[in-house]
Amino acid sequence: MLLCASAPVLADTPGNCMYEQILGHWTFRMGQGGNTNQVDCAGEVHPKEEFKVELREPDLAVDAQGKKGFWTMIYNQGFEVVISGKKFFAFSYYETHGNDTTSFCHRTFNGWYHNEDGSNWGCYVGEKSQQAINVQRDAPSAGSAAQEDAGVWKSEADMVARINKKQSLWQAVDYPEFQGRPLFEMRRMAGGKKGTKWPMKMQTKKFSFEERSHRL
């Protein structure tokens, strides 16, 4: 999935955050802007300003001044917000211990922001006002992945109807012609489980809440 015309395809992470866990009031702590799309967000983000935004159903974003934009999930691993002339993207925060991954869906790793025209890049970190339920799961093994691919595609006409009834900004579409097709075929049509690697440097050190609060 593309973030903008020049952005590459995102790669999978072990994170697992659901739509309902991302909804709510967020504070984006933004570092220095004015960079190119090669900005290095791997280290600490030194906040220069805060941007507050509420993410509402189904995909509405509203900032503190009442300006409206939209937001979207990037699979179950991150989310993008487009509002007030800017785009924000970050992966949801997670920690892995052994085979278990715990997702902290009220926090993000260091992410990237830029103007809608692709200029003025910078780094930011997001924090939700209310703690989301942590999601813990075993890291998928080759066997579990094979079992997942062994299923078949099922039509979701009822879900599509509910989505379209709830909002009119966009139209969800069902594809009954794929009913009963093997999941491994559907994955191949979608481009597989993983895309190419994100070329920009991502945060590698995991900062605790205390460390982040101290820096502010």
Q: What is the mean pLDDT of residues 100-117?
A: 93
Q: What is the pLDDT of residue 5?
A: 32
Band (pLDDT 50/70/90 cuts) for residue 47 is very high
Confidence of residue 138 (pLDDT cuts 50, 70, 90): low
Q: What is the pLDDT of residue 28?
A: 98
Note the pLDDT of residue 37. 92
Predicted pLDDT of residue 150: 62
Q: What is the pLDDT of residue 112?
A: 96
Report the pLDDT value the prediction gives residue 200, as an integer from 0 to 100.
42
Between 42 and 199, where is the model more confident?
42
In the prediction, which pLDDT does 113 show?
Answer: 97
Q: What is the pLDDT of residue 193?
A: 46
Q: What is the pLDDT of residue 65?
A: 95
Per-residue pLDDT for 176 more than 80?
no
pLDDT tops 80 at residue 147: no
The answer to whether residue 114 scores a pLDDT higher than 50 is yes
Residue % of the chain over a pLDDT of 90: 43
Average pLDDT on 33-56 reads 95
pLDDT band at 41 (very low <50, low <70, confident <90, very high): very high
For residue 208, pLDDT beyond 70: no
Structure confidence at residue 163 (pLDDT): 82
Give the CA-trace dihedral at 6, 12, 18, 19, to 10 degrees.
10
Q: Output the average pLDDT for the chain.
A: 78
Is the pLDDT assigned to residue 197 strictly greater than 80?
no
pLDDT reported for residue 40? 93
